[in-house]
Chain A
C-alpha cells in the first residue's frame, strides 16, 4: 500500500525553483535510496516532506497515508508518523536528552489522542532501546547533542526513531561525518527498525551507506527531478561511472 505519494512537486526557495516536478511513490515496508550530486534537490525534498518553513510549494501534491501532507503543520506530520533524521542534528543546551525525548514523545501521543506514557514505562523503553544502540545512560543526562561526537549524534537520531515509532523515516545524509564503525552501528540500528509497515527513505551521496542499509529501489536525482529509478544495482553503477551521465538527462 502506498505510504507516501509525491506528485509533480514544484518547490521554490526565495523565487528560485529547486524542484521542477518531482514524482515518486514509497510503499509500506520499502527502503528507497535517493542519490544525486550536491544541489540536485535531495535535502529540499526531505525538508518539504517534514514541513520546514522557507519553502514554497507552487505545484503538485504530497499524500501521506492518503492524506494531504502539505495541509498539516510540521508537528502534526511528526505525530502522524513522519520522521526526519537530520544531517546535522542541533544542540539544545540545558535540555537533557531524557527530558527532550519524553517531552517530544508525549507531545506526539497527545496529538494522537493517546495518554502520556508513565515515567517507569518510558524509562524502561528508553533503556532497552539505548542499550541496543550502544548509547550509555550518562549520554541521556547530557544536554541534547551537546558535546556529542558525530557518531553519538546520529545514534541519538536513531534512538528517537526507535522511540517514536514513525511509519516513514527519512534519513538525510546519515553517513556524513561518520567513520566506518560509527556508520555500522547507526546502520544496524536503522535495519533493526525496518518492518513490513515502516518505510525508509535514505538520502546519500555515496553508495557506501547502501552496503549497510540495502535499498529496494534507488532513485537518481539531478537538477530537481528524478532522472532514473532502478534496483540496488543502480547505486553500484553510479559509484563506478559518477553522476555526469545524468546531468544531461535532466
Chain B
C-alpha cells in the first residue's frame, strides 16, 4: 500500500517539529517557590488580594486533595507526576494592576501578535469573508481575555460589554468585584471534591475568565480567551466560570498554545457553565497545546474538567472542540440536563499524531423531563498516536422522555495508530430513547489516488478528505474559528514539503 505508506511517512516527519507556536518569550516573572503546601495556597491567595472566604475555599480543596489519588482509568500512559516539582504560580512582572493595554509588557503583546491574536481593540478581522446575510463584517467584534501563564494580562472591549450589562473580566477581579456572583456559582457545577485534578485546580487556580450575562441579554459579541503557558516547569490552572442568566445568550471561544519544551507541562483547568431558564451558552475550544516532539518528548499534559449545568428549563449548552495539541488529553466536556426540556450538545474533532494520546469524550446526564442531547465525535489518529472516545449517556429514573443521539466516527491514517470507542449508556427510565452509531475507517488509497489524479498533491488530498470527514463539526464553530480550525487541521496532518 504505497500511497498510504507515503502518507504515513510524511505524517511521521511532520509533526510537531513544525509546531508553529513553539517560541518562548523572554520576560521576567514573579514565581512562587516550587512545590505545593498550605503556604503556597496562601501565597497565591495573597498575591490575588483575595477575601478570606476565597482562601478558606482553596484550603478546604487543598486538604481534600491530599486525600485523593490520581485517576488511572483513562487509556493514557505517562510517568508519574511529581506534584512537588512544579511551580504553581508564575506571573509576568511588573505585577502592578494593569488598567490599559499600554501598561502591558510589550514582550507579551508581541507574543500575542505572533500568535495572531488581536489584543488591540480591532473591530475587523482580516481576511474573513462575510457570512451570507450579514450586512457588515467590519462590525463583528470579538472581546479577548488573554491569560499568560497564571495571570490574565488583558481584557478587551470591557467598556462596550459593560454597556450591555455583560461582565467579562479575569476571575481574580470578579472575586473582588462581584463576590456575590462568584460565591453563588463557583464550585456549583464542578464541586471542589469532584476529581483529583479539579480539586487541585480549586486549591491553586490563579486566574481565568469570568462571564455573567444578565437576564434577557444577547451578548453583543463573541467572547474569547487565549491561554498561553510560557514559564518552564509551570502548571497552568485556570478557572473559567460562565453564567447565562434567564433568557440570555453567549458564545465563548478559547484558544491555547505553549512553547516547545523538553519536559512535560501540566495544564489542569476547570470550566463551569451555568445556564438558567431559556438561556443558551455556546462554548468553543481550539486547543493547540504543544504536543511533544517527534520522539514523544515534551508536550502538555492536558487534564481538564469542563462541565455545563442546564439548570433552568429550556436551557441549552453546546460544546464544540477542536483538539489538535497536547501530549496527553484527558478531557470530557459534559452537560447536566437538570431543567425540563433542556438540551446539551457536544461536537468534537480530536486529531492525534506522533506519540499523542487522547482520551476524550463527553457525559450527558439527563435529569429533567424531555431533555435531549446530541453527540457528534470525529477522531482522527495518525502516526503512533492513540485516540479514544469515552462517553457516558445516562437517564435518571425521573427523566421521562430523555433523548440522545450519538455518532462517533474514527479515521485512521497509517497502521501504527489506534482508535478506540468506549461508550457507557445507562437508562434508568423506560421512556428514554438513546441512539448510538459508530464507524471506524481508514483513508483509502483509492480515495487519495482519485484526488491526486485530479491534480491535488498527496497532502492536499489528505487535507481535503479529513476536512470532509470533520465537516459536521466544523460547521458548529463560529466562522472565524472555523477558518482557523480548518487550517490547523491541515497543518497538524501535513508533511514537510519536498
Contacts and interface: CB of A to CB of B under 8 A. Distances in A.
A26 interface: no
A225 B2 CA distance: 26
A92 B457 contact: no
A95 B464 contact: yes
A160 interface: yes
Interface stretch (A78-86, A121-129, A183-191, A240-248): A78-86
B452 A78 contact: yes
Given A53-B3, A104-B451, A75 B457 contact: yes
A74 B470 contact: no
A166 to B, nearest CB: 10
A143 interface: yes
A111 interface: yes
A122 to B, nearest CB: 15
Contacts of A93: 468-469
Nearest to A145: B450
Interface string B444-484: 11110111111111101000110111111000000000000
Given A53-B445, A78-B453, A160-B454, A107 B470 contact: no
B3 A78 contact: no
Contacts of A52: 449, 453
Given A54-B2, A94-B469, A86 B450 contact: yes
Interface residue tally of chain A, by bracket? 20 to 34
Contacts of B447: 90, 92
A108 interface: yes
Contacts of A103: 456, 460, 464
A234 to B, nearest CB: 29
Interface residues of B, number: 27
Interface string A43-84: 000000011111000000000000000000111001100011
Nearest to B468: A94
Contact of B455 (A88, A89, A94, A108): A108
B464 A100 contact: yes
Q: Is the interface of B mostly helix, strand, loop or mixed?
A: helix
Contacts of A51: 452-453
Nearest to A111: B455
Contacts of B452: 51, 74-75, 78
B453 A74 contact: yes
B371 to A, nearest CB: 29
A104 B239 CA distance: 45
B495 to A, nearest CB: 14
B429 to A, nearest CB: 35
B456 A104 contact: yes
A103 B463 CA distance: 11
A230 B255 CA distance: 67
B6 interface: yes
Contacts, number: 81
A95 B455 contact: no
A111 B460 CA distance: 13
A75 B3 CA distance: 13
Interface in B1-31: 1-3, 6
B472 to A, nearest CB: 7
A79 B444 contact: no
A94 B460 contact: no
A218 to B, nearest CB: 25
Nearest to B3: A53
B476 to A, nearest CB: 14
B450 A94 contact: no
Contacts of B460: 103, 107
Nearest to B474: A94
A110 B465 CA distance: 20
A88 B446 CA distance: 10
A93 B467 CA distance: 10
Nearest to A80: B455
Contact of B465 (A53, A83, A92, A160): A92
A107 B455 contact: yes
Contacts of A79: 455
Nearest to A88: B446
A104 B455 contact: yes
Contacts of A84: 453
Contacts of B467: 94-95
Given A53-B3, A107-B455, A92 B449 contact: no
Given A52-B449, A103-B464, A164 B454 contact: yes
B455 to A, nearest CB: 4
A54 B5 CA distance: 11
Nearest to A56: B2
A115 to B, nearest CB: 15
Contact of A95 (B2, B457, B468): B468
Given A94-B469, A94-B472, 16 more contacts: A53-B2, A53-B3, A53-B6, A53-B445, A75-B456, A78-B453, A90-B446, A92-B447, A92-B450, A94-B470, A95-B465, A100-B454, A103-B460, A104-B456, A107-B455, A164-B454
13 contacts: A51-B452, A53-B449, A84-B453, A86-B450, A86-B453, A92-B447, A93-B468, A94-B472, A103-B464, A104-B451, A104-B456, A107-B457, A164-B454
| 6 residue pairs, one from A and one from B, having the closest CB atoms | A94-B468, A95-B468, A53-B2, A94-B471, A108-B455, A104-B454
Interface of A: 50-54, 73-75, 78-79, 83-84, 86, 88-90, 92-95, 100, 103-105, 107-108, 111, 143, 160, 164
